[in-house]
């Protein structure tokens, strides 16, 4: 079966994997992270048994901020996974995506409320995570590295939520 060439590409690339030990600060890129079922990114301050275990933000979104003269890069908006090539905001709540060779995430939330005391907002006066970031929970664990694929496995049915 041929894919409709006008449909969005169901694949993207992981540009950077990022982590921090403290909440409310920028995350630092690293060479790999381990996604853990029921927790999120091993060692990351945002990990835990909740619906926002892993955060994703597109490089294309970060580029919008660079275009207005800010020097920003992967992890600067506290995202765990910086992606390229897949329109994250088209992924409905409940969509399952494979990250790397083994890990599987379920998309649980689009955007978030940004608290005014966060380090990112203080540094750049604007945070794009509330409007352009997405979140997921880990259904299947695995190691994820820059250069790994992000592949839509199953799109959620309309009306499905956390």
Per residue in 97-138, pLDDT (tens digit) is: 999 999 999 999 998 776 555 666 666 666 677 789 999 999
Q: Is residue 43 included in any domain, yes or no?
A: yes
Q: Is residue 147 included in any domain, yes or no?
A: yes
Q: Does residue 153 or residue 1 have the better pLDDT?
A: 153
Q: Is residue 16 included in any domain, yes or no?
A: yes
Work out the average pLDDT over 137-149: 98
Q: Residue 116 belongs to what domain range?
A: 11-154
DSSP H helical ranges for 118-162: 119-124, 129-132
Give the contacts of 7 (CB within 8 A, at least 6 positions apart).
Answer: none
Q: Output the pLDDT for position 58.
A: 96
Q: Is the pLDDT of residue 38 over 60?
A: yes
Q: Output the pLDDT for position 2.
A: 47
Q: Is residue 119 included in any domain, yes or no?
A: yes
Q: Is the pLDDT of residue 82 over 70?
A: yes
Q: Name the band, by pLDDT with cuts 50, 70 and 90, for residue 81.
A: very high
What total of structural domains would you count in the chain?
Answer: 1
This prediction has a pTM of 0.85
Q: Output the pLDDT for position 48.
A: 96
Q: Is residue 1 included in any domain, yes or no?
A: no
Q: Does residue 87 or residue 9 have the better pLDDT?
A: 87
Q: Is residue 3 included in any domain, yes or no?
A: no
Rounded Cα–Cα distance for residues 83 and 157 (Å):
24
Q: Is residue 161 included in any domain, yes or no?
A: no
Q: Is the pLDDT of residue 1 over 90?
A: no
Other Cβ atoms closer than 10 A to 24:
15
CATH number at residue 53: 2.40.33.20
């Amino acid at each position: 079966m041929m894919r409709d060439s006008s449909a969005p590409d169901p694949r993207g690339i992981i540009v950077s994997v990022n982590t921090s030990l403290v909440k409310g600060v920028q995350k630092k890129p690293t060479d790999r992270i381990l996604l853990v079922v029921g927790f999120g990114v091993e060692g990351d301050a945002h990990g835990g048994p909740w619906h926002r275990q892993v955060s994703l933000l597109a490089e294309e979104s970060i580029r919008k901020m660079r275009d207005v003269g800010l020097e920003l890069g992967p992890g600067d908006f506290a995202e765990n996974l910086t992606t390229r090539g897949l329109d994250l905001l088209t992924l409905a709540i409940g969509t399952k995506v494979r990250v790397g060779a083994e890990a599987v995430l379920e998309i649980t939330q689009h955007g978030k409320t940004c608290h005014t005391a966060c380090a990112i907002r203080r540094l750049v006066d604007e945070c794009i995570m509330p409007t352009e970031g997405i979140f997921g929970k880990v259904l299947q664990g695995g190691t994820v590295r820059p250069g790994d694929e992000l592949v839509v496995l199953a799109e959620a049915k309309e009306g499905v939520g956390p």
